[in-house]
């Protein structure tokens, strides 16, 4: 088994005096999709932000590609090859699809074939049809696809993907699933936060269930899908 690409142990974080994460541990290996599953407010987004250096956090170990990233600035973490796709998208709404992709362009650090606009247009055919359209003329789902595509233009080794299926049409959810599987096939590691366990179940290798900032379960996705009691307790389904 390959060594973890992203290795987190004892991760804690707080907003002011309110502690949100309590000693979380998880890891993601090359070409693996790990789903961080939980209700709204469970701490999923906070976990991704803490790993990415967007909020203050402490950890016994926070390493990417064998290098400690604890305390590093977000831009330095990104330059190491860790991509981040926030739930609120944050595309450049006054730029076109093609211009947004160019903003994200960065040479990769591995021997994989680089992501290019044409490769991404094959992955996201909807974007190919609107390459000259400005971001403010796109639907929420289309903006989500563009955010993922722009992140891939940075040729990351791993991606933190926050709630990719939230609030978008089912046909675009299917495109998102295909995109994640394409990343996996390229050897890109994916840590995604989701409350849609059915979506996560279609693409993830492993599940990490978080509840009130603590890790409740870690195991294979098959184990999680087969545990109805756990889903009922932690997701209300």
Q: Does the pLDDT of residue 237 top 60, yes or no?
A: no
| Count of other CB atoms within 10 angstroms of residue 99 | 14
Distance CA 35, CA 191 (A): 6
Q: How many domains does the chain have?
A: 1
Note whether 195 and 1 are within 8 A (CB). no
CATH of the domain at 118: 3.40.50.300
pTM: 0.92
Q: Does the pLDDT of residue 91 top 90, yes or no?
A: no
Q: What's the residue count for the chain?
A: 237
Q: Select the highest-mean-pLDDT range: 32-36, 142-146, 176-180.
A: 32-36
What is the mean pLDDT of the segment spanning 9-17? 95
Three-state SS at 152:
helix
In a domain, 139, yes or no: yes
In a domain, 96, yes or no: yes
**pLDDT for the residue numbered 154:** 92
In a domain, 1, yes or no: no
**pLDDT for the residue numbered 166:** 84
**pLDDT for the residue numbered 47:** 98
Residues 109-153 have pLDDT tens digits of: 666 788 999 999 998 988 999 999 999 999 888 998 999 999 999
| Count of other CB atoms within 10 angstroms of residue 113 | 10
DSSP 179-231: HHHHHHHTT-EEEEEES-HHHHHHH-SEEEEEETTEEEEEEEHHHHHT-HHHH
DSSP structural state of residue 71: T
Average pLDDT, the chain: 92
Alpha carbon separation from 196 to 52, 163, 168, 200, 201 (Å, rounded): 23, 8, 12, 6, 9
Q: Does the pLDDT of residue 220 top 90, yes or no?
A: yes
pLDDT band (50, 70, 90) for residue 77: very high
In a domain, 24, yes or no: yes
In a domain, 170, yes or no: yes
Task: Name every residue whose Cβ is closer than 8 Å to that of residue 30 and which is 6 or more positions away in sequence.
Answer: 2, 5, 157, 187, 188, 189
CA atoms within 13 A on the CB side of 64: 24
Q: Which domain holds residue 54?
A: 6-235
In a domain, 196, yes or no: yes
Task: Name every residue whose Cβ is closer than 8 Å to that of residue 161 and which is 6 or more positions away in sequence.
Answer: 85, 148, 180, 190, 191, 192, 193
Q: Tokens in use for 150?
A: 């722009």
């Amino acid at each position: 088994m390959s060594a973890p690409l992203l290795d987190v142990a004892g991760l804690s974080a707080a907003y002011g005096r309110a502690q949100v994460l309590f000693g979380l541990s998880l890891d993601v290996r090359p070409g693996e999709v790990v789903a961080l599953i939980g209700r709204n407010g469970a701490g999923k987004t906070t976990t991704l932000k803490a790993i990415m250096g967007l909020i203050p956090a402490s950890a016994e170990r926070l390493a990417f590609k064998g290098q400690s990233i604890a305390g590093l600035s977000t831009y330095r973490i990104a330059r190491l090859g860790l991509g981040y796709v926030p739930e609120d998208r944050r595309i450049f709404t006054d730029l076109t699809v093609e211009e947004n992709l160019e903003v994200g362009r960065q040479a990769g650090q591995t021997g994989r074939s680089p992501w290019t606009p044409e490769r991404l247009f094959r992955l996201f055919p909807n974007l190919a049809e609107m390459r000259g359209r400005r971001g403010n003329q796109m639907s929420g789902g289309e903006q989500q696809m563009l955010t993922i595509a722009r992140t891939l233009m940075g040729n990351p080794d791993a991606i933190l993907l926050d709630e990719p299926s939230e609030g978008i049409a089912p046909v675009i959810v299917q495109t998102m699933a295909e995109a994640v599987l394409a990343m996996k096939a390229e050897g890109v590691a994916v840590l995604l936060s989701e409350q849609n366990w059915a979506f996560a179940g279609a693409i993830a290798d492993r599940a990490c269930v978080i509840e009130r900032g603590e890790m409740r379960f870690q195991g294979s996705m098959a184990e999680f899908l087969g545990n109805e009691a756990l889903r009922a307790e932690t997701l209300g389904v």
